[in-house]
Amino acid sequence: MADQEPTMTGDIRMLRRGRETHRHSLELLEGEGALREITIEGEELTIGRSADTNFRLSSKRASRLHAFFRVRGTDCILRDNDSHNGVYLNGLKVYSAVLREGDVIQVADSVFVYHEE
Amino acid sequence: MPAFVKFWGTRGSIPTPASWTRVYGGNTPCVEVRFDNTLFICDAGSGIRELGKDLLTRQPAPKELHLLITHTHWDHIQGFPFFAPVYAKNMPVHVYGRQAQDNSTYQLLSGQMSSDYFPVSFKEIGHSISADFFQDGQREIDGVIVRSFALNHPGGCFGYSFEKDGRKIVYATDNELEIKPGEVFPDMEDTGPPRHMPSSLLEVARDASLLIMDAQYDEREYQTKQTWGHSCCFSVTDFATQANVGTLALFHHDPESTDTQIDAKVQACRLRAARHGANLVICAAREGVELKF
Protein backbone atom coordinates (compact mmCIF):
# COMPACT_ATOMS: atom_id res chain seq x y z
CA MET A 1 0.00 0.00 0.00
CA ALA A 2 2.84 2.37 0.84
CA ASP A 3 3.98 2.24 -2.79
CA GLN A 4 0.73 3.83 -3.92
CA GLU A 5 0.97 6.88 -1.70
CA PRO A 6 1.82 10.16 -3.43
CA THR A 7 5.52 10.88 -3.47
CA MET A 8 5.09 14.68 -3.75
CA THR A 9 3.12 17.00 -1.57
CA GLY A 10 2.70 20.75 -1.60
CA ASP A 11 0.96 23.37 -3.65
CA ILE A 12 0.88 22.43 -7.34
CA ARG A 13 1.12 26.11 -8.23
CA MET A 14 4.53 26.24 -6.61
CA LEU A 15 5.68 23.10 -8.38
CA ARG A 16 4.58 24.50 -11.73
CA ARG A 17 5.62 28.10 -11.22
CA GLY A 18 8.18 27.94 -14.03
CA ARG A 19 5.38 27.58 -16.55
CA GLU A 20 4.20 31.10 -15.88
CA THR A 21 7.51 32.53 -16.94
CA HIS A 22 8.03 33.22 -20.62
CA ARG A 23 11.16 34.65 -22.11
CA HIS A 24 11.09 36.10 -25.60
CA SER A 25 14.26 36.80 -27.52
CA LEU A 26 15.57 37.56 -30.98
CA GLU A 27 18.72 36.03 -32.38
CA LEU A 28 20.30 38.37 -34.91
CA LEU A 29 21.36 36.21 -37.85
CA GLU A 30 22.17 38.86 -40.44
CA GLY A 31 22.42 42.59 -40.18
CA GLU A 32 24.28 45.33 -38.45
CA GLY A 33 26.95 44.62 -35.88
CA ALA A 34 27.89 41.40 -34.18
CA LEU A 35 25.51 38.49 -34.24
CA ARG A 36 23.86 38.39 -30.86
CA GLU A 37 20.72 37.67 -28.86
CA ILE A 38 18.32 40.45 -27.89
CA THR A 39 15.96 39.76 -25.03
CA ILE A 40 12.57 41.43 -25.25
CA GLU A 41 12.32 43.05 -21.84
CA GLY A 42 9.08 44.40 -20.46
CA GLU A 43 6.04 44.77 -22.68
CA GLU A 44 7.53 46.19 -25.86
CA LEU A 45 10.64 46.38 -27.98
CA THR A 46 10.75 48.91 -30.80
CA ILE A 47 12.96 48.69 -33.87
CA GLY A 48 13.82 51.27 -36.51
CA ARG A 49 16.17 54.02 -37.63
CA SER A 50 15.21 56.51 -34.91
CA ALA A 51 17.47 56.97 -31.91
CA ASP A 52 14.36 56.54 -29.79
CA THR A 53 13.95 52.87 -30.70
CA ASN A 54 15.14 50.04 -28.48
CA PHE A 55 16.95 48.37 -31.36
CA ARG A 56 18.40 50.86 -33.78
CA LEU A 57 18.98 50.15 -37.47
CA SER A 58 21.08 52.32 -39.76
CA SER A 59 19.83 50.82 -43.03
CA LYS A 60 18.11 53.25 -45.38
CA ARG A 61 15.52 50.53 -45.92
CA ALA A 62 14.41 50.96 -42.32
CA SER A 63 11.70 53.46 -41.33
CA ARG A 64 12.17 55.62 -38.26
CA LEU A 65 9.86 53.50 -36.09
CA HIS A 66 9.68 50.48 -38.35
CA ALA A 67 8.06 47.82 -36.19
CA PHE A 68 7.58 46.67 -32.65
CA PHE A 69 7.40 43.46 -30.65
CA ARG A 70 4.72 43.40 -27.97
CA VAL A 71 4.32 40.87 -25.20
CA ARG A 72 0.69 39.99 -24.55
CA GLY A 73 0.11 37.31 -21.96
CA THR A 74 2.42 34.48 -22.93
CA ASP A 75 2.57 35.54 -26.60
CA CYS A 76 4.90 37.89 -28.39
CA ILE A 77 3.36 39.83 -31.28
CA LEU A 78 5.24 41.39 -34.17
CA ARG A 79 3.57 44.49 -35.64
CA ASP A 80 4.58 46.56 -38.63
CA ASN A 81 4.29 50.28 -37.88
CA ASP A 82 3.06 51.08 -41.41
CA SER A 83 6.68 51.14 -42.49
CA HIS A 84 7.70 51.80 -46.07
CA ASN A 85 9.32 48.41 -46.69
CA GLY A 86 7.28 46.25 -44.34
CA VAL A 87 8.24 43.27 -42.21
CA TYR A 88 8.58 39.67 -43.31
CA LEU A 89 7.73 36.53 -41.38
CA ASN A 90 9.33 33.41 -42.83
CA GLY A 91 9.52 35.21 -46.15
CA LEU A 92 5.90 36.46 -46.16
CA LYS A 93 5.11 40.15 -45.83
CA VAL A 94 2.83 40.51 -42.80
CA TYR A 95 1.19 43.36 -40.95
CA SER A 96 1.17 41.59 -37.61
CA ALA A 97 1.69 38.08 -36.29
CA VAL A 98 1.76 36.06 -33.11
CA LEU A 99 5.29 34.65 -33.12
CA ARG A 100 6.27 31.04 -32.64
CA GLU A 101 9.60 29.40 -31.81
CA GLY A 102 11.94 29.41 -34.78
CA ASP A 103 10.14 32.08 -36.81
CA VAL A 104 12.46 34.04 -39.09
CA ILE A 105 11.79 37.79 -39.13
CA GLN A 106 13.23 40.30 -41.57
CA VAL A 107 13.18 44.03 -40.85
CA ALA A 108 15.00 46.08 -43.49
CA ASP A 109 18.38 44.34 -43.92
CA SER A 110 18.34 42.59 -40.56
CA VAL A 111 17.24 39.00 -40.08
CA PHE A 112 16.28 37.55 -36.70
CA VAL A 113 15.18 34.18 -35.38
CA TYR A 114 12.55 34.37 -32.66
CA HIS A 115 12.92 32.19 -29.57
CA GLU A 116 10.47 31.56 -26.74
CA GLU A 117 11.21 29.79 -23.50
CA MET B 1 -7.63 52.70 -47.87
CA PRO B 2 -5.86 49.38 -47.45
CA ALA B 3 -7.63 46.12 -46.70
CA PHE B 4 -6.62 44.04 -43.71
CA VAL B 5 -7.15 40.31 -43.35
CA LYS B 6 -6.54 38.46 -40.09
CA PHE B 7 -6.76 34.71 -39.56
CA TRP B 8 -8.44 33.65 -36.30
CA GLY B 9 -9.11 30.03 -37.24
CA THR B 10 -7.62 28.08 -40.13
CA ARG B 11 -8.25 24.42 -39.29
CA GLY B 12 -10.92 22.30 -40.96
CA SER B 13 -13.43 19.87 -39.51
CA ILE B 14 -12.72 20.02 -35.78
CA PRO B 15 -10.65 22.12 -33.36
CA THR B 16 -7.20 20.57 -33.08
CA PRO B 17 -5.22 21.95 -30.15
CA ALA B 18 -1.89 20.14 -30.09
CA SER B 19 1.83 20.78 -29.86
CA TRP B 20 2.08 19.96 -33.57
CA THR B 21 -0.54 22.54 -34.58
CA ARG B 22 0.94 25.37 -32.55
CA VAL B 23 2.23 27.36 -35.53
CA TYR B 24 -0.73 27.28 -37.93
CA GLY B 25 -3.28 26.90 -35.16
CA GLY B 26 -6.02 24.49 -34.17
CA ASN B 27 -9.13 26.67 -34.29
CA THR B 28 -11.77 26.12 -36.96
CA PRO B 29 -12.49 28.75 -39.65
CA CYS B 30 -12.85 32.40 -38.83
CA VAL B 31 -11.31 35.19 -40.91
CA GLU B 32 -11.59 38.92 -40.34
CA VAL B 33 -11.68 41.16 -43.42
CA ARG B 34 -11.49 44.88 -42.67
CA PHE B 35 -11.76 47.93 -44.89
CA ASP B 36 -11.27 51.09 -42.82
CA ASN B 37 -13.68 50.56 -39.91
CA THR B 38 -16.03 48.22 -41.78
CA LEU B 39 -15.56 44.75 -40.42
CA PHE B 40 -16.58 41.47 -42.04
CA ILE B 41 -16.29 38.11 -40.34
CA CYS B 42 -16.10 35.05 -42.55
CA ASP B 43 -17.42 32.03 -40.66
CA ALA B 44 -17.95 31.43 -36.97
CA GLY B 45 -15.69 28.47 -36.26
CA SER B 46 -13.98 28.21 -32.89
CA GLY B 47 -11.55 31.00 -33.90
CA ILE B 48 -14.35 33.55 -33.52
CA ARG B 49 -14.04 33.31 -29.74
CA GLU B 50 -10.64 35.01 -29.69
CA LEU B 51 -11.79 37.52 -32.30
CA GLY B 52 -14.73 38.42 -30.07
CA LYS B 53 -12.48 39.08 -27.08
CA ASP B 54 -10.20 41.21 -29.22
CA LEU B 55 -13.08 43.25 -30.67
CA LEU B 56 -14.21 44.26 -27.20
CA THR B 57 -10.82 45.86 -26.54
CA ARG B 58 -10.53 47.83 -29.78
CA GLN B 59 -10.55 51.60 -29.89
CA PRO B 60 -12.52 52.79 -31.67
CA ALA B 61 -14.87 49.83 -31.38
CA PRO B 62 -16.57 48.75 -34.60
CA LYS B 63 -20.09 50.16 -34.79
CA GLU B 64 -21.46 46.94 -36.26
CA LEU B 65 -20.29 43.56 -37.50
CA HIS B 66 -21.13 41.74 -40.72
CA LEU B 67 -21.09 37.97 -40.29
CA LEU B 68 -20.95 35.88 -43.45
CA ILE B 69 -21.37 32.14 -43.00
CA THR B 70 -20.24 29.93 -45.89
CA HIS B 71 -22.40 27.01 -44.77
CA THR B 72 -23.63 25.59 -41.53
CA HIS B 73 -21.43 22.54 -41.07
CA TRP B 74 -20.34 22.49 -37.45
CA ASP B 75 -16.79 23.67 -37.92
CA HIS B 76 -18.13 26.91 -39.41
CA ILE B 77 -20.67 27.80 -36.72
CA GLN B 78 -19.53 26.12 -33.51
CA GLY B 79 -17.81 29.22 -32.13
CA PHE B 80 -20.84 31.50 -32.42
CA PRO B 81 -22.30 30.84 -28.93
CA PHE B 82 -18.92 31.92 -27.50
CA PHE B 83 -18.70 35.17 -29.49
CA ALA B 84 -18.58 37.78 -26.72
CA PRO B 85 -19.83 40.85 -28.68
CA VAL B 86 -23.32 39.37 -29.00
CA TYR B 87 -23.57 39.35 -25.20
CA ALA B 88 -22.14 42.87 -24.90
CA LYS B 89 -25.25 44.07 -26.78
CA ASN B 90 -23.68 47.28 -28.08
CA MET B 91 -22.23 45.86 -31.27
CA PRO B 92 -25.02 44.81 -33.65
CA VAL B 93 -24.30 41.74 -35.76
CA HIS B 94 -25.78 41.36 -39.24
CA VAL B 95 -26.10 37.74 -40.38
CA TYR B 96 -26.53 37.40 -44.13
CA GLY B 97 -28.71 35.00 -46.10
CA ARG B 98 -28.33 34.34 -49.82
CA GLN B 99 -31.55 36.00 -50.93
CA ALA B 100 -34.33 38.22 -49.63
CA GLN B 101 -36.39 36.46 -46.97
CA ASP B 102 -33.71 33.76 -46.63
CA ASN B 103 -33.08 33.56 -42.90
CA SER B 104 -31.99 29.92 -42.86
CA THR B 105 -28.48 30.77 -41.62
CA TYR B 106 -29.95 32.89 -38.85
CA GLN B 107 -32.28 30.03 -37.91
CA LEU B 108 -29.48 27.47 -37.83
CA LEU B 109 -27.25 29.70 -35.70
CA SER B 110 -30.10 30.14 -33.25
CA GLY B 111 -30.92 26.41 -33.42
CA GLN B 112 -27.52 25.40 -32.05
CA MET B 113 -28.32 27.52 -29.00
CA SER B 114 -31.40 25.53 -28.07
CA SER B 115 -31.26 24.18 -24.54
CA ASP B 116 -30.30 20.72 -25.78
CA TYR B 117 -26.97 22.07 -26.95
CA PHE B 118 -26.15 25.23 -25.03
CA PRO B 119 -27.12 26.76 -21.67
CA VAL B 120 -27.73 30.33 -22.86
CA SER B 121 -30.87 30.89 -24.91
CA PHE B 122 -30.69 32.65 -28.25
CA LYS B 123 -33.50 34.87 -26.97
CA GLU B 124 -31.05 36.52 -24.61
CA ILE B 125 -28.82 37.68 -27.46
CA GLY B 126 -31.29 37.76 -30.33
CA HIS B 127 -31.84 41.49 -30.19
CA SER B 128 -28.12 42.04 -31.01
CA ILE B 129 -28.44 40.00 -34.18
CA SER B 130 -30.37 40.81 -37.32
CA ALA B 131 -31.06 38.61 -40.32
CA ASP B 132 -29.96 40.42 -43.48
CA PHE B 133 -29.56 39.25 -47.06
CA PHE B 134 -27.90 39.65 -50.45
CA GLN B 135 -29.80 40.73 -53.54
CA ASP B 136 -28.89 38.55 -56.53
CA GLY B 137 -25.72 37.50 -54.74
CA GLN B 138 -24.42 41.03 -54.25
CA ARG B 139 -24.52 43.76 -51.66
CA GLU B 140 -22.72 47.05 -51.16
CA ILE B 141 -21.78 47.68 -47.55
CA ASP B 142 -20.03 50.97 -46.67
CA GLY B 143 -18.68 51.15 -50.20
CA VAL B 144 -17.38 47.57 -50.17
CA ILE B 145 -18.85 45.40 -52.93
CA VAL B 146 -19.55 42.00 -51.40
CA ARG B 147 -20.46 39.12 -53.68
CA SER B 148 -21.46 35.59 -52.79
CA PHE B 149 -20.90 32.67 -55.13
CA ALA B 150 -21.62 28.94 -55.05
CA LEU B 151 -18.92 26.41 -54.21
CA ASN B 152 -18.70 22.65 -54.66
CA HIS B 153 -19.28 21.05 -51.28
CA PRO B 154 -21.73 18.40 -50.01
CA GLY B 155 -24.91 20.17 -48.89
CA GLY B 156 -23.87 23.40 -50.62
CA CYS B 157 -21.53 26.21 -49.66
CA PHE B 158 -20.93 29.84 -50.62
CA GLY B 159 -17.77 31.84 -50.99
CA TYR B 160 -17.47 35.61 -50.66
CA SER B 161 -15.48 38.32 -52.38
CA PHE B 162 -14.87 41.83 -51.04
CA GLU B 163 -13.83 44.68 -53.32
CA LYS B 164 -12.99 48.31 -52.69
CA ASP B 165 -10.43 50.81 -53.99
CA GLY B 166 -8.78 48.24 -56.26
CA ARG B 167 -8.31 45.69 -53.48
CA LYS B 168 -10.06 42.36 -53.83
CA ILE B 169 -10.17 39.67 -51.15
CA VAL B 170 -11.72 36.29 -51.98
CA TYR B 171 -12.71 33.72 -49.36
CA ALA B 172 -13.45 30.30 -50.86
CA THR B 173 -13.31 27.53 -48.32
CA ASP B 174 -14.96 24.11 -48.35
CA ASN B 175 -14.71 23.75 -52.08
CA GLU B 176 -13.62 20.79 -54.18
CA LEU B 177 -11.81 21.51 -57.42
CA GLU B 178 -12.37 18.18 -59.12
CA ILE B 179 -9.81 16.40 -61.25
CA LYS B 180 -10.95 16.22 -64.87
CA PRO B 181 -10.61 13.05 -66.98
CA GLY B 182 -7.19 12.80 -68.60
CA GLU B 183 -5.45 15.05 -66.09
CA VAL B 184 -2.29 13.89 -64.33
CA PHE B 185 -3.35 12.68 -60.89
CA PRO B 186 -1.86 11.92 -58.50
CA ASP B 187 0.98 14.10 -59.67
CA MET B 188 3.41 12.97 -56.98
CA GLU B 189 6.51 14.08 -58.88
CA ASP B 190 4.88 17.35 -59.99
CA THR B 191 5.47 16.90 -63.68
CA GLY B 192 1.95 17.36 -65.05
CA PRO B 193 0.49 20.34 -66.91
CA PRO B 194 -1.86 22.80 -65.18
CA ARG B 195 -5.27 21.36 -64.42
CA HIS B 196 -8.47 22.68 -65.93
CA MET B 197 -10.51 24.91 -63.67
CA PRO B 198 -14.17 25.98 -63.73
CA SER B 199 -14.30 29.23 -65.71
CA SER B 200 -17.08 30.83 -63.65
CA LEU B 201 -15.08 30.40 -60.45
CA LEU B 202 -11.93 31.67 -62.13
CA GLU B 203 -13.76 34.87 -63.03
CA VAL B 204 -14.84 35.38 -59.42
CA ALA B 205 -11.23 35.16 -58.24
CA ARG B 206 -9.66 36.93 -61.22
CA ASP B 207 -6.86 39.36 -60.20
CA ALA B 208 -7.64 39.07 -56.49
CA SER B 209 -5.12 40.65 -54.12
CA LEU B 210 -5.63 37.67 -51.82
CA LEU B 211 -7.33 34.34 -52.42
CA ILE B 212 -8.04 32.28 -49.31
CA MET B 213 -8.88 28.82 -50.59
CA ASP B 214 -9.57 25.37 -49.24
CA ALA B 215 -6.47 23.23 -49.84
CA GLN B 216 -7.01 20.59 -47.19
CA TYR B 217 -5.19 17.74 -48.90
CA ASP B 218 -2.00 16.99 -50.71
CA GLU B 219 -1.95 14.69 -53.74
CA ARG B 220 -1.60 11.52 -51.67
CA GLU B 221 -4.36 12.40 -49.21
CA TYR B 222 -6.80 13.45 -51.93
CA GLN B 223 -6.62 10.03 -53.58
CA THR B 224 -8.84 8.56 -50.86
CA LYS B 225 -10.93 11.66 -50.15
CA GLN B 226 -12.42 12.65 -53.48
CA THR B 227 -16.07 13.86 -53.27
CA TRP B 228 -15.56 14.90 -49.62
CA GLY B 229 -15.81 18.54 -50.71
CA HIS B 230 -12.23 19.70 -50.25
CA SER B 231 -9.39 20.32 -52.68
CA CYS B 232 -5.82 19.18 -53.02
CA CYS B 233 -3.20 21.89 -52.90
CA PHE B 234 -1.81 21.38 -56.42
CA SER B 235 -5.26 22.01 -57.92
CA VAL B 236 -5.61 25.15 -55.81
CA THR B 237 -2.17 26.34 -56.92
CA ASP B 238 -3.14 25.84 -60.56
CA PHE B 239 -6.40 27.68 -59.91
CA ALA B 240 -4.66 30.68 -58.34
CA THR B 241 -2.14 30.76 -61.16
CA GLN B 242 -4.85 30.81 -63.81
CA ALA B 243 -6.87 33.44 -61.91
CA ASN B 244 -3.77 35.67 -61.71
CA VAL B 245 -4.13 36.30 -57.99
CA GLY B 246 -1.41 38.12 -56.05
CA THR B 247 -1.29 36.00 -52.90
CA LEU B 248 -2.74 32.54 -52.26
CA ALA B 249 -3.39 31.43 -48.67
CA LEU B 250 -3.89 27.68 -48.35
CA PHE B 251 -6.77 27.24 -45.91
CA HIS B 252 -8.90 24.68 -44.01
CA HIS B 253 -5.94 22.61 -42.89
CA ASP B 254 -6.64 18.96 -42.27
CA PRO B 255 -6.92 18.07 -38.56
CA GLU B 256 -4.24 15.42 -39.12
CA SER B 257 -1.78 17.85 -40.72
CA THR B 258 1.18 18.83 -38.58
CA ASP B 259 2.88 22.22 -38.86
CA THR B 260 5.78 20.50 -40.58
CA GLN B 261 3.49 18.86 -43.12
CA ILE B 262 1.81 22.19 -43.87
CA ASP B 263 5.23 23.76 -44.40
CA ALA B 264 6.03 20.97 -46.86
CA LYS B 265 2.74 21.52 -48.68
CA VAL B 266 3.47 25.23 -49.09
CA GLN B 267 6.93 24.50 -50.45
CA ALA B 268 5.58 21.94 -52.95
CA CYS B 269 2.96 24.46 -54.15
CA ARG B 270 5.58 27.19 -54.56
CA LEU B 271 7.68 24.88 -56.70
CA ARG B 272 4.67 23.96 -58.84
CA ALA B 273 3.69 27.60 -59.34
CA ALA B 274 7.26 28.48 -60.28
CA ARG B 275 7.40 25.58 -62.74
CA HIS B 276 4.28 26.94 -64.41
CA GLY B 277 5.78 30.42 -64.56
CA ALA B 278 3.42 32.00 -62.05
CA ASN B 279 4.26 35.22 -60.24
CA LEU B 280 2.34 34.14 -57.18
CA VAL B 281 2.97 34.44 -53.43
CA ILE B 282 1.87 31.28 -51.63
CA CYS B 283 1.49 30.85 -47.89
CA ALA B 284 -0.54 28.75 -45.51
CA ALA B 285 -3.15 30.63 -43.52
CA ARG B 286 -1.83 30.87 -39.97
CA GLU B 287 -3.75 31.77 -36.85
CA GLY B 288 -2.74 35.18 -35.48
CA VAL B 289 -1.30 36.47 -38.76
CA GLU B 290 -2.64 39.69 -40.26
CA LEU B 291 -1.99 40.74 -43.84
CA LYS B 292 -2.36 44.16 -45.41
CA PHE B 293 -3.23 44.85 -49.05
At B106-158, the pLDDT tens digits run: 888 888 888 888 888 888 887 788 888 888 899 999 999 999 999 999 999 99
Digit-coded pLDDT (tens) for A37-87: 999 988 999 999 999 999 999 999 999 999 999 999 889 999 999 999 999
HSE at residue B234, side-chain half, CA atoms within 13 A, is 26
Backbone angles phi, psi at B234, to 5 degrees: -70, -40
Lowest mean pLDDT among A11-15, A17-21, B163-167, B232-236: A17-21
Do A100 and B23 make contact, defined as CB atoms within 8 angstroms? yes
Q: Which residue of A has its CA nearest to B282?
A: A92
Residue A12's pLDDT band (cuts 50, 70, 90): confident
Is residue A94 pLDDT above 90, yes or no?
Answer: yes
pLDDT of residue B110: 83
What pLDDT, on a 0 to 100 scale, did the predictor assign at position B122?
81
Q: Tell me the pTM.
A: 0.94
pLDDT of residue A20: 63
Closest partner residue to A98 (CB to CB) among B4, B288, B292 is B288
pLDDT for the residue B197: 97
Select the residue of B22, B281, B292 nearest A95 (Cβ to Cβ): B292
ipTM: 0.94
φ/ψ of residue B97, rounded to 5: -95, 175
Closest by Cα among B24, B31, B65 to B45: B31
Paired sense of beta strands B210-214 and B167-172, if any: parallel
**Strands B129-133 and B30-35, bridge-based pairing:** unpaired
**How confident is the model over B239-257, as a mean pLDDT?**
98
Distance from CA of A5 to the nearest CA of B (A): 31
Q: Round to whole Å and give the CA distance between B189 and B212.
A: 25
Confidence of residue A17 (pLDDT cuts 50, 70, 90): low
The pLDDT value recorded for residue B101 is 74
pLDDT band at B105 (very low <50, low <70, confident <90, very high): confident
Contact status of A76 with chain B (Cβ, < 8 Å): no
In this prediction, residue B279 carries a pLDDT of 92
Q: What is the pLDDT of residue A2?
A: 54
> What does the mean pLDDT of chain B come to?
94
Strands B144-151 vs B138-141: parallel, antiparallel or unpaired:
antiparallel
Closest-CA residue in chain A for B248?
A92
Specify the 3-state DSSP secondary structure of B96: strand
| pLDDT interval class at A3 (50, 70, 90) | low
Q: Which of A8-22, A83-97, B197-211 has the lowest mean pLDDT?
A: A8-22
CA B163 to chain centre: 16
Q: Which of A71, A84, A90 to mutate to test the interface with B (most CBs of B within 10 A)?
A: A90
Residues A48/A66, Cβ–Cβ less than 8 Å: yes
Q: How far apart are CA B50 and CA B86, in angstroms?
A: 13
Indicate the SS3 state at residue B13: coil
Interface subset of A 92-111, CB within 8 angstroms of B: 92-98, 100
Nearest to A69 by CA among A86, A81, A52: A81
Which residues on adjacent β-strands are paired with residue A37?
A27
Buried/exposed A65-103: b ≥16 CB within 10 Å, e otherwise: bbbbbbbeeeebbbbbeebebbbbbbebbbbbbbbbeeb
